[in-house]
Amino acid sequence: MKFQQLIMLLAIAMLSASCAVKKPFVEDVTLPTADKMAAGNTVKLFRNLKKSAAGGVMFGQQDAVLYGIGWKGDKNRADVKSVCGDYPAVYGWEIGRIEHGNKYSIDSVNFNLMRKRIIEAYKRGGVNTISWHCDNPMTGGNAWDVSKSDAVASVLPGGVKHELFMTWLDRVADFLNSLKSGNENIPILFRPFHEHTASWFWWGENYCTPVQYKALVRMTIDHFRQKGLHHIMYIYSPDQTDNVSRYFERYPGDDYMDLLGVDYYQQNGIAGAEQYMQTMHNIFAMLTPEARKRNKLLVFSETGLEGLPMNNWWTDVLLKTVSHYPLAYVMVWRNAYDKPGHFFGPYPGNPSAGNFIEFYKSRKTLFQTDIKNMYK
């Protein structure tokens, strides 16, 4: 009798366990990307970014494998890798000037080479994020040309530059669609029209209303989706903001954005460390519950300390800033090959390189060798 009861209890336990397994799976399916038609590997990346954020923050750098201090275009090279022996987990890219059909970006990078490096990063298991410093369609100047205040209005439906801008979007879409490994599109985290709460770009808050800004972003994303681009996740990344209402004032909506980010740099050299840390603690404390409520990823989409005058910045400032929050990644800006002093990552011989190795060894940071199967 006891044996039969034991068998029955085991059967009930197994049935309960099988039911218990199904429930998280169903819930997981209801945690999708903003695009309900997102490609399978893109949905998997979204879920795996959520999982990895619970264990550590991925480190990224802009243009890390395209150029660095004293070099440009070398294969299998990155300043970060030369310092710690590992690639970043996140690779940032800039496609400004692609809208004109140019061969080279605003940073003089050949787009064919960029495509090749993006594919290589994907095959290593890395995560790719793209920004677009789009030229001003109203003036013909660059993204920082704010000489006319109606550029955003001009590209919206009915605007004098709408048709031109849609042509630009087509060229961006063509490039994004060309990012493939075999027959499979490579998932991309796209960060358009960033730092919009400031006013140094033509899409900044002084040059368009919240309604116009949201219309610009929605028009862009809708156009990409209509062209069949379902391997893109989108990052919302204002400049630093001090309250929730201001942060979300120009938010296009949960059906458009997958990641909540912020762009903020340490200013005033070493003297600015405390203010930087306090500002970011306030912002991440504010955004963490919002990201959870909206089922979005939280990222530090752009940051750094130009010239790295603080040798222990990596562990004493950046690590302390990001390690208390469920951030998917933090990305520092580029190491310019042609602009002395304009660097944000370590390189061989840089005084902060030793401290960066400590940062790399931390259990709270994730680099290329730490992330596996992000697309499975």
Over residues 112-162, the pLDDT tens digits come to 999 999 999 999 999 999 999 999 999 999 999 999 999 999 999 999 999
Q: Which of 40, 87, 62, 58 is nearest to 186 (CA)?
A: 40
- What average pLDDT score do residues 41-60 get? 97
Question: What is the torsion angle, in degrees rounded to the nearest 10, for the CA atoms of residue 24, residue 301, residue 236 and residue 117?
Answer: -90
200 is in an annotated binding site: yes
316 CB burial (10 A radius; 0-12, 13-18, 19+)? middle
122 is in an annotated binding site: no
Reported confidence tier of residue 372, pLDDT bands at 50, 70, 90: confident
Q: Which domain holds residue 123?
A: 40-370
Q: Is residue 10 part of a domain?
A: no
Sequence-ordered list of residues with C-beta below 8 angstroms from that of 356, at least 6 positions apart, any chain:
80, 83, 84, 314, 345, 346
User: Pseudo-torsion of CA 148, 150, 154, 157, nearest 10°?
Assistant: 170
DSSP letter (8 states) at residue 239: B
The reply to whether 195 belongs to the active site is: yes
**Of 6-10, 193-197, 233-237, which range is least confident?**
6-10
Number of domains in the chain: 1
Q: What integer pLDDT is reported at residue 256 of this predicted model?
A: 99
How many angstroms separate the Cα of 7 from the Cα of each of 1, 10, 19? 10, 5, 18
Domain contains 328:
yes
Q: Would you call 19 helix, strand, or coil by DSSP?
A: helix
Task: Note the helical H segments in the chain.
Answer: 2-29, 40-53, 79-84, 111-123, 151-155, 162-177, 210-226, 244-247, 273-294, 313, 320-322, 353-361
Q: Nearest 10 degrees: CA dihedral of 298, 239, 216, 154?
A: -170
Report the distance separating Cα 356 and Cα 313, nearest Å.
8
Distances (CA, A) of 294 to 48, 173, 274, 282, 314: 17, 27, 30, 19, 30
Whether 65 is covered by a domain: the verdict is: yes
Residue 18 lies in a domain: no
What confidence tier does 242 reach under pLDDT thresholds 50, 70, 90?
Answer: confident
Structural domain contains residue 31: no
pLDDT at 32 (0 to 100): 83
**Does residue 274 lie in a domain region?**
yes
Residue 313 counted as an annotated binding residue: no
Q: Report whether pLDDT(22) > 70.
A: no
- Please report, for the domain that includes residue 204, its CATH number: 3.20.20.80
Which residue among 94, 99, 195, 205 is the active-site one? 195
- List Cβ neighbours of 341 (8 Å cut-off, separation of 6 or more): 306, 307
pLDDT at 19 over 50: no
Residue pair 132/62 in contact (Cβ under 8 Å)? The answer is no
- Catalytic residue list contains 302: yes
Catalytic residue among 94, 99, 205, 302: 302
Flag whether 32 is in a domain. no
Angle at 49 between CA 48 and CA 55, to 5 degrees: 95
Asked if residue 264 is part of any domain, the answer here is yes
- In whole angstroms, give the CA distance from residue 358 to residue 232: 34
For the cut 50, the answer to whether the pLDDT of residue 26 exceeds it is no
Query: What's the whole-model pTM score?
Result: 0.91
Give the list of residues 6+ apart from residue 283 with CB closer than 8 angstroms, or none.
240, 241, 242, 262, 264
Q: Among residues 286, 230, 296, which one has the least CA distance to residue 258?
A: 296
pLDDT band at 31 (very low <50, low <70, confident <90, very high): low
DSSP 240: P
Rounded Cα distance between 345 and 314, Å, is 10
